[in-house]
Structure 1
Amino acid sequence: MTNQAVKNPRLLPILLGAIGVPMALGGLQLLFLGGSFYYLLCGLVLLVCAMLLWQGDPLASKIYGGLLVFTVLWALYESGSNLWALAPRILPLAALGLLFITPWMRRSLHQGRPPPLFAETAAKLVVPVFAVIFLLVFEAGTGYEVSPMPARSGVNTVNTATDWPSYGNTLGGTRYSPVSQINVENAGDLELAWTYRTGAGGAFKATPLQVGELLYFCTGGNRVVALDAEAGELRWQFDPLIDQAHLSQARYFTTGCRGVSYYEAPPDYRGECPARILTNTTDSRLIALDALSGERCSQFG
């Protein structure tokens, strides 16, 4: 291949320019609002790289590499070891950076005679250094801290052997039940005990709660239902009467309900609704119901 046959890159500089312009403008606005300077700097550097690439200057790859290193350091400074926060800050630029080391891009930038990919000392250090950083961040970011429960939290811990009072059973979300009557040896012998038809439209997405003899859940339109856990018979039902015009908008979201919450007041409480079912609605209301009768708690809110 002769030098005359090698053409300067065109697609990548256009792509970098299309990303750099709105990032620089948005970064400038963010800077005036007191935000991070990074986005303005990144947008400007991307525009410089785009211009150099258009001219076929190999300096563009080095500048982009420097931007990528700076981005990693900035992301670690801003987000620590939070993997979910690091990913959107690093991965998009890293993915674009892979285009710089493709054979056709390197031939284009070096007039058909690209040097070995890891010819320079800095290039040789990139892979092991980033591998070490990734392993350290992954190790630190995959764990989590559990804050100590406040003293008052115990008043709502009603998890007996047969209760399931929270979405994940316990307040810590263990999703574990100490019930031992059903186990791996007899689970295959279970039979259908009862069924209940909600009569509500939309998808059923709720995780039922069980406290004492009642099973609580919600249906499409945020209707709350309490059933006899043993027989599957309706004990009470509450309809928040959401406007039908509201439910017709984005029905996948407005007609679904993920679940309800249970709250039990301290033993010395003497007001209404000592045990409550809390539910929120798709039209932005938070409602408290008496867990035994289904009546609204008039003093709530």
Structure 2
Amino acid sequence: MSRSDARGSRGSSRGWQVATWAVALALGVFGLAMFGGGVYLMTLGGSWYYGLAGAGSVLSAVLLMMQRRSALYLFAVIWSLTVVWALWEVGLDWWGLVPRLVAMTVILLLILTLSPALRRPA
């Protein structure tokens, strides 16, 4: 491998790292907002979903910053439980499902896109 090839692969790795950090930061902010609103909703006697999903999203963001593959697995569980919760809450009403699933699905797709850069457990 020539020196320019080595530098190119390092630059590519750096690009993945920056993208991973950007998604992790956005997910962390999103998760904190969801967690805060969810805790408030819980105090009013409302759904626990937002607080729990927000806490899981923050944990997933931390794992993503550490470039751990477990961030993907955790968020996939959160997304799956979100689908179950959304179906339980509104049934098969398309317009009721859209606001409950779109953001979480976009985040899952972003994390899946980053999955080649995430480290597998030892």
Query: TM (normalized to structure 1)?
Result: 0.34
1:18 shift after superposition? 1.0
Percentage of identical aligned residues? 31
Structure 1 residue 19 corresponds to structure 2 residue 30: yes
Question: What CA distance in whole angstroms lies between the structure 2 residues aligned with 1:83 and 1:106?
Answer: 30
The residue number in structure 2 matching 1:62 is 73
Question: What CA distance in whole angstroms lies between the structure 1 residues aligned with 2:115 and 2:56?
Answer: 20
Structure 1 residue 76 corresponds to structure 2 residue 75: no
The residue number in structure 2 matching 1:95 is 106
Cα deviations across residues 93-128 of structure 1 (Å, max 9, x unaligned)?
0011111222xx1221138xxxxxxxxxxxxxxxxx
Root-mean-square deviation (CA), in Å?
A: 1.9
5+ residue gaps in structure 1? 112-301
The residue number in structure 1 matching 2:62 is 51
1:16 shift after superposition? 0.3
Cα deviations across residues 267-289 of structure 1 (Å, max 9, x unaligned)?
xxxxxxxxxxxxxxxxxxxxxxx
The residue number in structure 2 matching 1:187 is none
Q: What amino acid is the match of 2:119?
A: H
Question: What CA distance in whole angstroms lies between the structure 1 residues aligned with 2:115 and 2:30?
Answer: 21
Partner SS for 1:101:
helix
Query: TM (normalized to structure 2)?
Result: 0.82
Q: Contact 2:35–2:55 at 8 Å: present in 1 too? A: yes
- What is the count of residue pairs matched by the alignment? 108
Cα deviations across residues 242-285 of structure 1 (Å, max 9, x unaligned)?
xxxxxxxxxxxxxxxxxxxxxxxxxxxxxxxxxxxxxxxxxxxx
The residue number in structure 2 matching 1:295 is none
5+ residue gaps in structure 2? none
The residue number in structure 2 matching 1:107 is 116
Whichever of the two has the greater Rg, that structure is: 1
Q: Which structure ranks higher in relative contact order (CA pairs < 8 Å, sequence separation ≥ 6)? A: 2
Deviating beyond 6 angstroms after TM superposition, the runs of 4 or more aligned structure 1 residues are none
Specify which structure has the higher proportion of helix: 2
Q: Contact 2:24–2:62 at 8 Å: present in 1 too? A: yes
What are the within-5 Å matches in structure 2 for residues 270-281 of structure 1?
A: none
Specify which structure has the higher proportion of strand: 1
Q: Contact 2:72–2:115 at 8 Å: present in 1 too? A: no
Question: What CA distance in whole angstroms lies between the structure 1 residues aligned with 2:112 and 2:54?
Answer: 21
Question: What CA distance in whole angstroms lies between the structure 1 residues aligned with 2:51 and 2:111?
Answer: 22
1:82 shift after superposition? 1.1
